[in-house]
Structure 1
Amino acid sequence: MLNEDLLIGNQILSELGARLARPGLGQVVVLADTNTATLCYPRLKPHLPATHTLIEIAAGEEHKTLTTCEEVWRQLTELRADRHAVLVNLGGGVVTDLGGFCAALYKRGIRFVQVPTTLLAQVDASVGGKTGVDFLGFKNQLGVFQEPWLVCINPDFLATLDPRQLKAGYAEVLKHWLIADADAFATYGAQGVLTIDWTPIIRDSVALKQRIVEQDPRESGPRKLLNFGHTVGHALESYLLLQPGREILHGEAVAAGLVCEAWLSHRKGLLSAAGLEKVETCVLSVFEKVQFVSLEADPIADFARQDKKNTGAVINCTLLEGIGHGIYDQPVTEEDIAAALRYYHRL
């Protein structure tokens, strides 16, 4: 993604409107969920062409499925949206992931714009060209790499979030610091989410992710660093997603994964005891522990067999070789992951 394709700031919606008014673009369609249609769409609407259309989907990770995609494709078809149409995805990680996937497949690909409204989507999900949906209970099992036409990050949208959603996004910020920016972790890690201005943190976090993605757009090497916390996190999130009433947010699962994978790093002699303690202290000062019983560690770990970074039967994990230095393609076993989950459970 070029720098001019990424807009960050509290005044960028007018610039989005100007770009959508350019000659040669087709119909503009906004995709929002039931939350962002109410809380965020009214802020965006004045900047859109008068002829635009809104498609609304149900909110929540449980709706990040092919069934929802079929509904989006059906409505695009009924609107007679052609290959020059632009899909504007207004929402958090579910909307940006699913919307990008729908756009990438509709008529073999139409332009899409990411307008992330959660901290998680602003620092992670909307940037990097990953799209996808969950399948058979596994996170992002289906998807394609497809860069958006434009990403518009307006920190003002964070005011629409409840504290739980804001904290969920902070897990991805912590991840970026832990894999590649020890100074930022040392400077900001003790502040938690009580920051006044998110804009500089968002800018730095997005820039860090872009630098990594530019080296490895298709995740065959260094981009795997961005999965720190996600091997265990995705397994935990997938396991609980299949149990109504126990679902957790993606960022909450990642936060637990950060602790578990930091412990695995220490167990393998890569991270010092002091480093592990710093990760634990930071994460647990912000996030409540994810609740599960110790006997569930093994069935949760079983979900890691489907992790997309795996090679055959080998589970490849990203670990820490010290704070601010991630290393990828580190083999771990299901037993390792179960042991990490039991360690987290005892904290």
Structure 2
Amino acid sequence: MDSVTSKAHEIHFGDLAKAALQQYLAQNQYSKIFILVDENTNEHCLDFFSDIHGSSAETPIIIKAGEVYKTIETCVTVWNALSNMGGDRKSMLLNLGGGVVTDLGGFVASTFKRGIDFINIPTSLLAMVDASVGGKTGVDLGALKNQVGVINQPKMVLIFTELLVTLEPRQLKSGFAEMLKHGLIADRDYWNELISLNESDYHNHIQKSVEIKNNIVEKDPTEQNIRKKLNYGHTLGHAIESYYLEHPIKDTLLHGEAIAIGMILEGYLSHKLTGMSKIELDEIKKVFLSNYPKVNFTQEDIGIIIDLLKHDKKNSHGNINFVLLEQIGSAIVDIKVPVELFKEAFAYYKE
């Protein structure tokens, strides 16, 4: 795979990633090199990566695995570890993990000593095509997603598709939802390619998804306009994810599973408000329900999820702003949605 270049950094794949990392670390005399992992990547990915980076790194900093640990409390643990291990402003943090590690690690690096350099090495499909690219860092506030953070770019992103063998099929599917989103918001032909894939073909399309996201971020790095397109499915999807994350009885939904539901719901809103055809709406619903299990929402569930929308970080001046589709491959931002349409969207999903 060819490298993807942005104004802020480069995204390298495979052997090019290995060479780029070794050259970069040799050319930059960091006082200390730290590696952040979670329990899973410490067990399954660290040995692979240690053979690649070829430099002397400190003992890995290990955090607990899972979205529930993407918190400011975990940041404090990592900040203390960096301080206790002698980290200074000339230190480097290598974030080896999925979206929680790259989001949280990027935020930790951006704030420790008022900012140290970091590199993202995503180990999940979701992180490879989404979380590690674009410079968004941060943590959750309780069950509310990504409420605290900054936009700060890594020095580079290194993608090793070999690491995907460590994932369970459900985790691969979660990442695939973000790839489907890229087709929906930017490229009908890419959507058509993806919906004909089997799971063994995912890795062959990672570069295309990275290119789509990178092209959007390049034009709008601080999300003032078109970068908002990347939030398609995430307004309702994040509310659903938050609700299931904090519910004492219901099973937690993975990010991609919640966003898949959000894309169906926001597809319905697109049909009602921005002109997407019923044919394309039904196509979107069919694709996602063939890939992700259907969730049974009660009326109580729906009411609480709709109430959670007021916490969405994309809101402004009391308005809930949505990204909707004009058609598959074309998205439009900052659409305000009448509240009565939310329950209609859930009804369509449940049909």
| Fold agreement, TM-score > 0.5 | yes
Question: Which of the numbers 296, 320, 323 marks the counterpart of 2:301?
Answer: 296
CA contact (8 A) 2:97 2:124 kept: yes
CA contact (8 A) 1:168 1:252 kept: yes
Q: Secondary structure at the match of 1:75?
A: helix
Q: Tell me whether 1:168 sits opposite 2:143 in the alignment.
A: no
Matches within 5 A, 1:48-127: 48=53, 49-127=55-133
Question: Which of the numbers 25, 44, 64 marks the counterpart of 2:30?
Answer: 25
Give the 3 Å change call, closer, same or farther, for CA 2–153 of structure 1 in structure 2: farther
Give the counterpart letter for 2:187 in structure 1.
Answer: D
CA contact (8 A) 2:322 2:334 kept: yes
Give the counterpart letter for 2:194 in structure 1.
Answer: Y
Q: With the length of structure 1 as denominator, give the TM-score of the two structures.
A: 0.95
Deviates most, 332-341 or 36-45: 332-341
Give the counterpart letter for 1:158 in structure 2.
Answer: L
Residue equivalent to 1:332:
337
CA contact (8 A) 1:10 1:155 kept: no
Residue equivalent to 1:186:
192
Residue 312 of structure 1: CA displacement? Answer: 1.6
Q: Tell me whether 1:212 sits opposite 2:216 in the alignment.
A: yes
Q: Deviations over 1:178-235 (max 9, x none)?
A: 00100111232132x4343613x11111111111111111111000000000001000
Residue 264 of structure 1: CA displacement? Answer: 0.8
Residue equivalent to 1:286:
291
Residue equivalent to 1:143:
149
Give the 3 Å change call, closer, same or farther, for CA 261–29 of structure 1 in structure 2: same
* Structure 2: gaps spanning 5 or more residues: 1-5
Give the 3 Å change call, closer, same or farther, for CA 230–197 of structure 1 in structure 2: closer
Residue equivalent to 1:223:
227
The sequence identity of aligned pairs, in percent, is: 44
Residue 3 of structure 1: CA displacement? Answer: 8.1
CA contact (8 A) 2:66 2:100 kept: yes
Q: Secondary structure at the match of 2:300?
A: helix
Give the 3 Å change call, closer, same or farther, for CA 68–202 of structure 1 in structure 2: same
Q: Deviations over 1:41-94 (max 9, x none)?
A: 110012332343300000000000000000000000001111111110011111
Give the 3 Å change call, closer, same or farther, for CA 334–239 of structure 1 in structure 2: farther
Give the counterpart letter for 1:261 in structure 2.
Answer: E
Q: Distance in 2 between matches of 1:290 and 1:98?
A: 29
CA contact (8 A) 2:35 2:96 kept: yes
**RMSD of aligned C-alpha atoms?**
1.6
Residue 269 of structure 1: CA displacement? Answer: 5.0
Residue equivalent to 1:312:
317
Give the counterpart letter for 1:112 in structure 2.
Answer: F
Give the counterpart letter for 1:202 in structure 2.
Answer: I
Q: Secondary structure at the match of 2:78?
A: helix
CA contact (8 A) 1:309 1:316 kept: yes
Residue equivalent to 2:21:
16
Question: Which of the numbers 260, 263, 279 marks the counterpart of 1:258?
Answer: 263
Give the 3 Å change call, closer, same or farther, for CA 197–10 of structure 1 in structure 2: farther
Residue 323 of structure 1: CA displacement? Answer: 0.6
Q: Distance in 2 between matches of 1:316 and 1:51?
A: 44
Give the 3 Å change call, closer, same or farther, for CA 189–197 of structure 1 in structure 2: closer
Give the counterpart letter for 1:156 in structure 2.
Answer: E
Question: Which of the numbers 312, 323, 332 marks the counterpart of 2:328?
Answer: 323
Q: Distance in 1 between matches of 2:344 and 2:300?
A: 11
Q: With the length of structure 2 as denominator, give the TM-score of the two structures.
A: 0.94
Q: Distance in 1 between matches of 2:286 and 2:41?
A: 33
* Structure 1: gaps spanning 5 or more residues: none
CA contact (8 A) 1:65 1:133 kept: yes
Deviates most, 262-271 or 95-104: 262-271
Give the counterpart letter for 1:176 in structure 2.
Answer: H
Question: Which of the numbers 235, 239, 244 marks the counterpart of 2:239?
Answer: 235
Q: Distance in 1 between matches of 2:113 and 2:8?
A: 27
Q: Secondary structure at the match of 1:127?
A: coil
Q: Distance in 2 between matches of 1:4 and 1:305?
A: 34
Q: Secondary structure at the match of 1:25?
A: coil
Residue equivalent to 2:134:
128
Moved over 6 A (4+): none
Residue 101 of structure 1: CA displacement? Answer: 0.4
Q: Distance in 2 between matches of 1:335 and 1:32?
A: 44
Residue equivalent to 2:3:
none
Give the 3 Å change call, closer, same or farther, for CA 171–313 of structure 1 in structure 2: same
Q: Secondary structure at the match of 2:322?
A: strand
